[in-house]
Amino acid sequence: MELRHLLYFVTVAEELNFSRAAARLRVAQPAISRQIRDLEESLGLKLFERTARSVRLTEAGRVFVVEAQAVLRRMDDAVATVRATGKQGQFRLGYAPSLTVEILSPALRRFQETNPGMRVALHDLSTQEMLAGLCEERLDLALLARPAKAALAGLRFEELRRYAWCVAVPVTHPLARRREVGLPVLTKERLLAYDREQYPEYHTDLARILAGRPAIAEEHDSATSLIAAVEAGRGVAIVPECLACLAGERLRLRPLVPAPPALIVGAAYRGGRGNVVAEVFLGAIR
């Protein structure tokens, strides 16, 4: 159970209408329905009685809404407190540059608008370094590709974006003229990739996508060097579509078919009252 479950539940309870609740929260109605269903499954109780024409709280729902409202008020108080006492504090954020290019800048801007005295320390780190930093309390929050479940032990993860997998090619490459690229075509290409040691989750995804073929010809330690190598004609690369924001007109990204499961990018952080500032920053992202 997470704060957003309570927020969605309380909003629906106040509106007694899923459509109005969705409009108030500025989210899609199916997302609210899914969160309410997850909450009810977590509690093992029905919170709403739904008919084609109405939504009503059950007895359990009437009891729970009072408690949920109290929790949300406590969260608001905590946010107000951290803003009041942390004006000159520091928020330590780990991030993967190529995956967070669409997320980071607007979130930082919103966060600084509401917390003008809070200094944000940005740390460009590998996944392992970010997870270690969170566990050792050297980071408050990390923006990264979703790690394996075992690697998140003791941490929370919230999905923020999903990105399709694409093939990055030079602008003059024959594949640049295609609308999409099939996997069999890649067996004839020299394949470039991120460094295995620094990007283990990427290589896990790559192995699933390629099923062992073709072999990786060379690895690069950053998005900048990978983009440069593809642009120079050293090979092609399988990358998430968000790389287009960094590559610009230097490369062409074409959807991979059949489409593999999307890459999930989100925020990892420690739960509990001691890390309220992470919730504040997540609010800026949402």
What band does 211 get if pLDDT is binned at 50, 70 and 90? Answer: confident
Label residues 277-286 b or e (16+ Cβ within 10 Å = b): bbbbbbebbe
What band does 286 get if pLDDT is binned at 50, 70 and 90? Answer: confident
Instruction: State yes or no: pLDDT of 17 exceeds 60.
Output: yes
pLDDT reported for residue 83: 61
Cα dihedral 33/39/44/48 (nearest 10): -50
* CATH number of 165-261, picked from 3.40.190.10, 3.40.50.1370, 2.60.120.10, 3.20.20.70: 3.40.190.10
pLDDT reported for residue 130: 94
Distance of alpha carbon 202 from alpha carbon 191, whole angstroms: 14
Enumerate the β-bridge partners of residue 95.
124, 143
Model's pTM, two decimal places?
0.67
Instruction: State yes or no: pLDDT of 120 exceeds 70.
Output: yes
pLDDT reported for residue 52: 79
* CB atoms near residue 73 (< 10 Å): 10
Burial of 174 (0-12, 13-18, 19+ CB in 10 A): exposed
Instruction: State yes or no: pLDDT of 194 exceeds 90.
Output: yes
Query: Lowest mean pLDDT: which of 1-15, 105-119, 161-175, 269-283?
Result: 269-283
Mean pLDDT of 12-37: 89
Distance of alpha carbon 111 from alpha carbon 90, whole angstroms: 12
pLDDT reported for residue 276: 74
Distance of alpha carbon 247 from alpha carbon 250, whole angstroms: 6
Residue-averaged pLDDT of the chain:
89
Mean pLDDT of 258-264: 93
CATH architecture, domain defined by 3-85:
Orthogonal Bundle (1.10)
Spatial neighbors of 47 by CB under 8 A, at least 6 apart, are 9, 13, 36, 39, 40, 57, 58, 60, 61, 64
Task: Please indicate whether residue 50 or residue 89 has the higher confidence score (pLDDT).
Answer: 50
Label residues 201-214 b or e (16+ Cβ within 10 Å = b): bbbebbeebbeeee
- CATH 1.10.10.10 in the chain: give the residue spans: 3-85
Query: Lowest mean pLDDT: which of 122-136, 170-184, 265-279?
Result: 265-279
Distance of alpha carbon 286 from alpha carbon 274, whole angstroms: 21
- CATH 3.40.190.10 in the chain: give the residue spans: 90-161+264-285, 165-261
- Identify whether the C-beta of residue 176 lies closer than 8 Å to the C-beta of residue 243: no
Residue in the structure block whose two tokens are 């999905």: 159
Mean pLDDT of 79-89: 60
What band does 51 get if pLDDT is binned at 50, 70 and 90? Answer: confident
What band does 262 get if pLDDT is binned at 50, 70 and 90? Answer: very high
CA distance to 123, 130, 163, 244, per residue, from 220 (Å): 19, 19, 21, 17
Instruction: State yes or no: pLDDT of 70 exceeds 60.
Output: yes
Closest by CA position to 243, among listed 227, 229, 219:
227
Distance of alpha carbon 26 from alpha carbon 171, whole angstroms: 39
Q: Is 143 helix (H, G, I), strand (E, B) or coil?
A: strand
90-161+264-285 maps to which CATH number? 3.40.190.10
The helix (run of H) or strand (run of E) holding residue 132 is helix 127-135
